[in-house]
A and B are shown apart, each in its own frame.
Chain A
Amino acid sequence: MASILDDDPRIIEFDVRTDEMLVNMGPQHPSTHGVLRLVLRTDGEIVSEVEPHIGYLHRCAEKIGENLTARQWIPYTDRMDYLAAMNMNLGWSLAVEKLMKYEVSEKARHLRVLIAELGRIASHLVGMGAYGLDLGTFSPFLYAFRERERILDLFEEACGARLTYSYITVGGLTADLPPGWLQRCEAFLDQFEPVIKEYHALLTTNAIFVKRTANIGVMSREMAIDYGCSGPVLRGSGVDQDLRRDGEAIYTAMYDGYAFEVAVMKNGRYPRDHEYPPVPPDAVIGDCWHRFFVRMIEVVQSMDLVRQAIDRYSACKGTIGEPLKLTEKIPAGDAYLETECPKGQMGFYVVGDGTAIPWRARARSSSFSNLSVTADLCRGCLIADVPAIVGSLDIVMGEIDR
């Protein structure tokens, strides 16, 4: 360990050496977002090495997928990223539809965008609130849940479930929206928009929050790409990549005609940055603050997308159509599709052998790649920075362990 301590310039200020101590952070720890276990090698308050251990939430979801039909596996995708279950449903459905070369109706496409973007807002709200919790402030967490609750109410009206929806499914959606839903959704958006300012006041621009996050856990552009990071973690490092714009045709076709800017800092500016508080001078691109801020911007961006989707959906005539039947046979062959989930690029791989049951069902988790940078980012930081860094990655263990 001595070499690591010598190499890190930050260690010099703390030149008192004490005995090293191995500490288990997790799996039962309040700030590890589920059952993540981090083994910290600490030298006083300084962390010289962090080793994440995963697997505490492994439920053999992928193996189960090889014993169920494609549509029957949808509830299992719910339980991967349980904070953005809609987006998980969408990823698997699109992968199977890609293999089957199936195209959903126009109305179903817009409804999918509407639902997926609402799901993104809900997921980012939890990420934002839980990040406040990681930094020791409890109230923003409950404010975020207050708004998320209203999204869950909308989802409940649409599909009957509040957490594991199985709403978006192979070949469309299980049901159309109930009457009056769009008005209630718009009412929510109108109520939610001014509240975002409060989050910025409580977290983004809060002096202590900035002190705790700015210039902490700085991940360079190259490092983010090398580790295969994706989603807000990648964009927080200044990489201009968003699968909704850069993804495969079947996925980008869904967002065809939608106007949005990728939430990434370009030439020192975020899109529509006049609406947000300015970037604090201490913040460096790729640090915890930027990762957090990208999520905040994406919430606003998703609200825009929801509004556009509401217009397009209500302009469509007819019905959303019926989803494929549960025992629909999937053709022989394989398909892999990555979608832009709230946490990052979630990939689903399906191999069909001509029966209704996939021969292989696999998932590529974005949180897994995002988590893998922990060891590098946390080297030489203080204990209090570990939750700050891990929290800024916004991981969900259900998705990592599957």
Chain B
Amino acid sequence: MVEYLIDRVGLPGWLAWTAAAALAAVLILNVIAGGALVFIWAERKIAARIQDRLGPTRTGGKFGWLQSLADGIKLLAKEDLMPDGADGMLFRLAPYVSFCASFCAFIALPFAFDFVGLRLNVAVFFVVAVLGLEVFGVILAGYASASKWSLFGSMREAAQVVSYEVPLGMCVVVPVMLAGSMDMVTIAEKQAGWFWNWYLFHDPFTFVIFWVYVTCAVASVNRAPFDLAEAESELVAGFHTEYSGLRWSFFFMAEYGSMFLVSAMAAVLFLGGWNGPVPLATLAGLSEGTGDTAGYLVRLLGMVNLLGKATLGVLVMMWIRWTLPRLRIDQVMTTCLKYCTPIAAVMFAGAMLWQLFLPGGLVPGMRRPAGEIREGWLEGPGGRAAASAPTGSGDLVLVPAAQVRP
């Protein structure tokens, strides 16, 4: 888009960049916030169906699909309350910290081939790191609320999230190792083709580590059965006990944003990203790499694919939440430190050895050998331009492995 603005419209470079960035930001913010509204509605309907209820039925027609919007308006109109002893600045700041962290991570998330806010060469690292910032908002909220229950909730969340980032990091590193890149576009691109090319089915170790990732992801976004920070039967409402109205809804949006993010991460890292189980486009002789209309449509199809996978992940999380009781804090820690971390470590080592000795898989010729695509951004025509150009095939350069390896 930047090229288009510079070349065709004739804007100066800085203005083109700013305009492109603003558009990307607005798109991401609105799509994800809108998505969060849809997920909140979906959660209410799903919870209702699981519990033999109907859920919202009136607002917005037959299925109550406007319920989230109506709730949003209600929350906007609510009185803004702050406890007497609260630390005013931190209390106001906390929801935005959580919200920003959750939504910022979407910058680096590719929705389809090159449909990405900012193509980062360290996208995986960026997403995990920024998502980890969300806990700051929670800690601030708990500390600033001047409520003991909030403090309990936020301390729990801090302990839990920090612990679960260890196994989560190990799980995330495995696809990075297999792809030889931290670039999420590259990682997903490497899983193109039939569904057995997905890293989930790469080897037995990745299959196991996917489930460890699912556990850790659920825990790191504080969903049941790991939702200790807001355990309503113990801590009233946990860290957001004292929040109401719009501030509270920011925490809510952050939670649903994070849920979607970790699901999309799982889709990109393990489930082939935007590549469907059957490579329809390739079978039809189309390629997403081409800049023409067909390629564009293929990418749109890929986006539907990725969103579908991520939505499936979110739905599974909802299903778990409405079925299982909540764990206790020591049991949550035990799950992390005694089970998830060692399993992740062993699986990481196993995947590494597999990659070393059986890089082509058990069946020769089943998948492309490792190292065929190496850090395209490095070889491309200038890192920045290549990373941000949404169209054009020149940004991903396929370099034979021999040329890159010293």
Contact residues of A with B, CB < 8 Å?
21, 23, 29-31, 45, 132-139, 142-143, 146, 202-203, 206, 208-209, 211-212, 382-387
Complex-state Cα separation, A31 to B234, whole angstroms: 7
Complex-state Cα separation, A368 to B225, whole angstroms: 32
Asked whether A386 and B51 contact (CB < 8 A) given A45-B329, A212-B325, the answer is no
Checking B233, B234, B323 against A139 with a beta-carbon cut-off of 8 angstroms, the contacting residue is B323
Q: Is B53 an interface residue (CB 8 A)?
A: yes
> Are B233 and A142 in touch, CB under 8 angstroms?
no
In order of increasing CB-CB distance, the 4 nearest A-B pairs are A136-B326, A31-B233, A135-B325, A137-B325
- Complex interface bits, B40-51 against A, C-beta within 8 A gives 1, otherwise 0: 000000010011
Given contacts A138-B322, A387-B233, 6 further A-B contacts (CB under 8 A): A30-B233, A45-B156, A211-B327, A211-B328, A383-B234, A387-B234
B interface size (C-beta, 8 A): 29
Q: Which residues of B contact A135 (CB under 8 A)?
A: 233, 325-326
Q: Which residues of B contact A137 (CB under 8 A)?
A: 322-326
Q: Which residues of B contact A142 (CB under 8 A)?
A: 51-53
> Are B152 and A383 in touch, CB under 8 angstroms?
yes
> Are B231 and A209 in touch, CB under 8 angstroms?
no
Q: Is B232 an interface residue (CB 8 A)?
A: yes
Complex-state Cα separation, A134 to B325, whole angstroms: 9
Complex-state Cα separation, A340 to B323, whole angstroms: 33
Least CB separation from B151: chain A residue: A21
CB distance from A262 to the nearest CB of B (A): 29
Q: Which residues of A contact B224 (CB under 8 A)?
A: 136
Complex-state Cα separation, A130 to B224, whole angstroms: 18
Complex-state Cα separation, A85 to B396, whole angstroms: 74
Q: Which residues of A contact B232 (CB under 8 A)?
A: 30-31, 136
List 26 interface pairs A-B (beta carbons < 8 Å), by A numbering.
A23-B149, A30-B236, A31-B232, A31-B233, A45-B330, A133-B233, A136-B224, A136-B227, A136-B232, A138-B47, A138-B51, A138-B322, A142-B51, A142-B53, A143-B52, A206-B325, A208-B225, A209-B325, A211-B327, A212-B325, A212-B327, A384-B326, A384-B328, A385-B328, A387-B233, A387-B234
Q: Which residues of A contact B384 (CB under 8 A)?
A: none
Complex-state Cα separation, A135 to B233, whole angstroms: 7
> Are B233 and A212 in touch, CB under 8 angstroms?
no
CB distance from B149 to the nearest CB of A (A): 7
Q: Which residues of A contact B51 (CB under 8 A)?
A: 138-139, 142-143
Checking B50, B228, B328 against A212 with a beta-carbon cut-off of 8 angstroms, the contacting residue is B328
Q: Which residues of A contact B156 (CB under 8 A)?
A: 45
Complex-state Cα separation, A383 to B233, whole angstroms: 10
> Are B328 and A382 in touch, CB under 8 angstroms?
yes
Q: Which residues of B contact A383 (CB under 8 A)?
A: 152, 234-235, 329
> Are B324 and A208 in touch, CB under 8 angstroms?
yes
Q: Which residues of B contact A386 (CB under 8 A)?
A: 234
